[in-house]
Structure 1
Amino acid sequence: MQRTSSSSGRSTPAASSSSSSLTAEELSFADTPRPFKNPYYLNRTTAGPGGGGGKRTKALKQIMALERERVDQLLEAKKQQLVAGAGDDAEAQLQQAFHQVVSFASVEAPPSLLPQKRYCDITGLEAKYQDPRSTLRYHNAEVYEVLRTFQPAVIQAYLAVRGQGVVLR
């Protein structure tokens, strides 16, 4: 197999003058139109006048200060209502209103409507099964094999940890 040489006598042809005139900007895909992009999209971190708008997070101190202000406003409005009514037990009603205000920091909540989650007595993982003989909860068949080897005293200890231990005398 013989190589054909170009007119200059070299085995590799020289680059043509038309391809060498292309610059990096002409070959770049950065400025090509993208029809799949939404032209009206605004980035949330840079949206707004000045580029610093968008959604901002608040520090815990700010949240707690705003919550205190909100609770104070509610109590002040309730106090004004009680003073306008001129009730003789206004102080007791104000204390009751203070305890009824739901705030970010209040720990009182109604009981959950969801069923209580059941956890494995051995591993602490979510329990899908319960042994009918010992009433111990277990996660999978591997744990059940270990559970079957337990003596009654060990089973009672696990049930006592859960709060359902039966004292046998």
Structure 2
Amino acid sequence: MTEKLLRPLRTRPWPERWLTRVLGAALSCAAYFLCLPWDLSNRPETENSTLETTPVTGLGVVFLALALLLLAAYFGHRDALAWPLLLVAVPPATLLYVSLRTHPGPPDGFANAWLLSWAFFTQLIAAEVFVAAVVARQFRPHLADEDLILAHHL
């Protein structure tokens, strides 16, 4: 069973390939929803307080990074290099963009700051996913080994 879960996706039938990819994108979205709150707006710490607090916690960010790292390593090992970026990095970046655009934000002068922070975190997520996928690809069996495995199972 483990061999089937780690075999390159290009050797699998197309329904299994696409189901695996859709599941990966759904897990990436689920990790975002579980680790980061949807409403990212800051709130006063207490009534009449000048200090603000955010619902985003450091632990949530760490868990999101770990979940995306694991998903990127899995898809980097099993699929072509572009798929981890599309399946693992794009969903959280899209959700973050929608979240930042839909909640009431700061005055118009700070609108560019939200866009810059989204761009920064998108680049950070994409870099993490890309590096994890490239490292995981190093542990793939060589093409000749894959052909031998396929010939053995046919």
So what's the TM-score if we normalise by structure 2? 0.23
Greater share of helix residues, 1 or 2?
A: 2
Q: Find the structure with the greater CA-based Rg.
A: 1
So what's the TM-score if we normalise by structure 1? 0.22
